[in-house]
Amino acid sequence: MKFKTLKFTPQRPDTELHISGTGIREEMRPCIIDRPQGTGDRLLMFFYEPVWLKEDGDIRQYPANTLMLWEDGTAHYYGNPERRWRHSWIHFHGRSAAALLTENGFVPWKPLTFNRPDIMEEYLLKIYKELTGSYAPDAVILKNLFHCMLREMDRAMREAAAPAIPERIFRTKAFIEKNQTGKIHLRQLAAVARLSVPHFCAEFKKWLGVSPVEYQLQLRFELAKYLLGNRNLNITEIAIQTGYGDIFQFSKMFRKRAGQSPSAFRHTLFSVE
């Protein structure tokens, strides 16, 4: 998959977001790109191979999977003089560009490690098709695609930096979510995690911040609030659907968490109508 389109306008349009071009996996011979004046807009670029970048006046080598953002009107220096290299990129500017970048954690002139180029490629391809289609590009669609790309890239980088929940705990979390209204025993969950009951309980709380029992109760409470918004269900029916055969037990759980009875909570939902 290789695409490229680039069209700088002589007069920069005063728009929310203007995209001058995109490139996906563009391959370059061994060389360094050195533009002291830049290109008059912002540039976000991902490098698949090791790359040389100029940062704070110093030329440094960075590993593969490096992401770099150049600010509006600044010098560009990048490439690899020793081997062929590939990069994906997008040129853009506009009134909302700075806010979108800041909101999603993108800092200019700070090389970042980014291990999910597929996310960037997916959106660049959609942007490319919007820019080069037989119809006039839609500014709202382009802005939304660009914004979603930044948000997904930011999320991927944050997830990569955060400790990953062990697969055994994720597996038991999914089991509780699937069976949130049923009777679940700790020994049953511990078996799913292949841990002893004490070890499992400690691990679950370490990663999710609550005990397995409390996690299930939270899920039931959220389900109860949702069901209370349906006038066609009475409190007894909602108690049963959330896993409580006893309406008094259900009301006690709900009052403890909401600070009011299910009936009072339902009244607040419809009192504004």
Q: Which amino acid is at 58?
A: D
Query: Would you place residue 246 in the very low, low, confident or very high pLDDT band (cuts 50, 70, 90)?
Result: confident
Give the residue with greater pLDDT, 11 vs 27.
Answer: 27
Q: What is the mean pLDDT of the chain?
A: 91
Q: State the span(s) of the chain assigned CATH 2.60.120.280.
A: 3-161
Q: What is the number of other CB atoms lying within 10 angstroms of the CB of residue 56?
A: 6
pTM > 0.85: no
Residue-level pLDDT at 109? 87
Residue-level pLDDT at 182? 94
φ/ψ (deg, to 5) at 229: -80, -5
φ/ψ (deg, to 5) at 67: -115, 135
Q: Which of 127, 110, 18 is nearest to 68 (CA)?
A: 110
Asked whether residue 32 carries a pLDDT value surpassing 70, the answer given is yes
pLDDT tens digits, one per residue of 196-230: 999 999 999 999 999 999 999 999 999 999 999 99
Q: What is the number of other CB atoms lying within 10 angstroms of the CB of residue 108?
A: 16
Q: State the span(s) of the chain assigned CATH 1.10.10.60.
A: 167-270
How confident is the model over 163-187, as a mean pLDDT?
92
How confident is the model over 176-195, as a mean pLDDT?
95
CA distance 196 to 158: 32
Residue-level pLDDT at 40? 86
> What fold is seen in the domain 3-161?
Jelly Rolls (2.60.120)
CA distance 173 to 178: 9
Asked whether residue 49 carries a pLDDT value surpassing 90, the answer given is yes
CA distance 153 to 81: 28
Architecture of domain 167-270: Orthogonal Bundle (1.10)
Q: Are strands 51-55 and 76-80 parallel, antiparallel or unpaired?
A: antiparallel
Q: Which of 117, 103, 137 is nearest to 19 (CA)?
A: 137
